[in-house]
Chain A
């Protein structure tokens, strides 16, 4: 693989990045208490400069190639294409080390943290994928790692808790609030407030105060960067007609969309978790159910009560079980640039089984939502559809076994 630079797109409305205060349209910003200001300000003033350093680029690209296993393949899914009477390509993030796209970001952030002189890493995790990806890079670099995880999720995701521990991380149960991802994120932010000088917080998605959404999007943008040249090689054109990705906080979608945002010919399809159904009170479809609000340090769409208390979402997939989305996605939604669909628990499960049998790939439950969205689109034979296959289904086997009655 060539060691191409991470493209630094122009800041502001025309590019994929936010303005200098972290806004994508009316969403973003850094709504943080003063106690977090020095850390966030340090990141904000240094992340672009550090990411542009040739030595950083070289180390990042080399690790992505030799440790993560990039570039990940772009695979023409023949039988799935036949079923939908179109041409479908799968971007195989499931083949990344640790089984999902999450590690693209953690590799980038650990290198950044080391350059900032940090001695300790903290992270939040829901399903445990980001926690495992963080524990992995911390082991690789020999740096202390503490992962905050909701007490409920610790019970639900035992194998990933064990993986984190085996990798040497400390897993701290978040006991506050609803004891899931939202609260794990609160606890990680509080822990950062309490350890302001030696600790870096590796956030797991394109959420949080500026510059996190932009920084994480840039690290994940390697996904769409590769898709462009891989499509060119395989089809003669760099541009797909559709780019489909599931959205929890939105990091795999941000990475899959990044180099296509300014290409109006590419339809950007973001797939949210409808849970039991959008209007059942058991859903995580933030764009459908949320209003503009502030959560975890940025202004975005947030699921909340009329009085502004953040509500507890539901999805069968822990990675999509979050009451917000990143500000970039809120902007794509509000501006109409993105198409937002939602998929229920049952439909996602059905697609997970279909894809497993059609292509020999067991997808993560999160990714199964992206596959199910194929059914909601009117696709033509001459379309080129890319599905971001964000992760593999090993972690969801217990859910799949239950669905099979075994």
Chain B
């Protein structure tokens, strides 16, 4: 059974998905950060592939992407790093067993070669993709079959402005889970997610085929709790990247950051 569906079959609530940028804060931080996230209780890792022009991201993730690019991160380097993700490596980093989703913009993926990208991703043990600027039309006519051929899930986004009919269509095309953007904003916004109860309730009442995880603006226990009230869980991004920014001890920082949030 696929890792994502296995997770959602056994855990229905308070699923914690944490975003980190590949190659941040250091080029070789990728696996240690992922391992720390797994050890400290994350259920899913959303691993960001840095891009020079991330349209959907706020300043914190932009900065982390820029730094990762300066550190030398590329898709080819990332796949090298991830080649030991499911087995553990010689440096002693243990293997990652939780689902891992790659998040990235289309341009670097197209330059790497879309089919080659999907093939490599599947080979190193990636479970799914989030490609926020992949349009539905191109997904259906060009890229979808390749993604499915390699057994990868594709997670689409919905927002408070997405109409009900379109939500249903997106749900039908998505697999793994549905990414509910909490408010109309870029990542790391300060819009109050408490104002979005009606939207989360609507998603819950629609009885969608995919589990729903809420992202954007989830930064601490209270926002995580609010997001989990009507959905299956939430995604934390900018707040964790911020915590890592000046960290000299990835495991320690991750522990204090996550223990706070996970506490019931």
A residues engaging B (CB < 8 A)?
21, 29-35, 37-38, 176-177, 182, 186, 189-190, 193-197, 291-297, 302, 304, 306-310
Set of chain B residues within 8 Å of A304, measured between Cβ atoms? 107, 111
B121-144 at interface with A (beta carbon < 8 Å): 132-135, 137-138
A84 to B133, CA, bound (A): 48
Chain B's nearest CB lies how many Å from the CB of A73? 40
* Interface pair B162/A37, CB less than 8 Å apart: yes
Of B68-76, B91-99, B246-254, B255-263, the segment with at least 4 beta carbons within 8 Å of chain A is: B68-76
Chain A's nearest CB lies how many Å from the CB of B107? 4
* Interface pair B185/A35, CB less than 8 Å apart: yes
**Beta-carbon contacts of B87-130 to A below 8 Å, as 1s and 0s?**
00000000000000000011111111000000000000000000
Known contacts being A194-B184, A307-B75, is A31 close to B108, with CB within 8 Å?
Answer: no
A35 to B76, CA, bound (A): 29
Q: Which of A29, A194, A308 contacts B107 (CB 8 A)?
A: A308
Q: Is B234 an interface residue (CB 8 A)?
A: no
A295 to B62, CA, bound (A): 16
Q: Which of B69, B75, B108, B138 contacts A29 (CB 8 A)?
A: B138
Q: Which residue of B lies closest to A194 (CB)?
A: B185
Q: Which of A30, A35, A176, A307 contacts B157 (CB 8 A)?
A: A35
Known contacts being A193-B185, A307-B76, A308-B51, is A33 close to B56, with CB within 8 Å?
Answer: yes
Q: Give 10 nearest A-B pairs by CB, closest first.
A: A308-B108, A308-B111, A34-B157, A307-B74, A33-B56, A33-B132, A309-B52, A196-B184, A294-B107, A31-B133
* Interface pair B189/A33, CB less than 8 Å apart: no
Q: How large is the interface on B (under 10, 10 to 19, 20 to 34, 35 or more residues)?
A: 35 or more
* Interface pair A294/B133, CB less than 8 Å apart: yes
Set of chain A residues within 8 Å of B132, measured between Cβ atoms? 33-34
A304 to B108, CA, bound (A): 9
Q: Is B156 an interface residue (CB 8 A)?
A: yes
Known contacts being A302-B107, A304-B107, is A309 close to B51, with CB within 8 Å?
Answer: yes
Set of chain B residues within 8 Å of A29, measured between Cβ atoms? 135, 137-138
* Interface pair A34/B110, CB less than 8 Å apart: no
* Interface pair A310/B107, CB less than 8 Å apart: yes
Known contacts being A29-B135, A177-B66, A308-B51, is A35 close to B59, with CB within 8 Å?
Answer: no
Set of chain B residues within 8 Å of A34, measured between Cβ atoms? 132, 156-159, 162, 170, 181
* Interface pair A291/B162, CB less than 8 Å apart: no
Q: Is B53 an interface residue (CB 8 A)?
A: yes
A131 to B181, CA, bound (A): 31
A309 to B75, CA, bound (A): 11
Chain A's nearest CB lies how many Å from the CB of B224? 21
**Beta-carbon contacts of B49-85 to A below 8 Å, as 1s and 0s?**
0011101101100100010010000111000000000
Q: Is B196 an interface residue (CB 8 A)?
A: no
Set of chain A residues within 8 Å of B55, measured between Cβ atoms? 32-33, 186, 189-190, 193, 296-297
Chain B's nearest CB lies how many Å from the CB of A124? 13
Query: Which among A32, A294, A302, A310 has the highest number of chain B CB atoms within 10 Å?
Result: A294
Query: Which among A31, A293, A295 has the highest number of chain B CB atoms within 10 Å?
Result: A31
Q: Is B186 an interface residue (CB 8 A)?
A: yes
Q: Which of B62, B133, B138, B189 contacts A297 (CB 8 A)?
A: B133
Set of chain A residues within 8 Å of B62, measured between Cβ atoms? 176-177
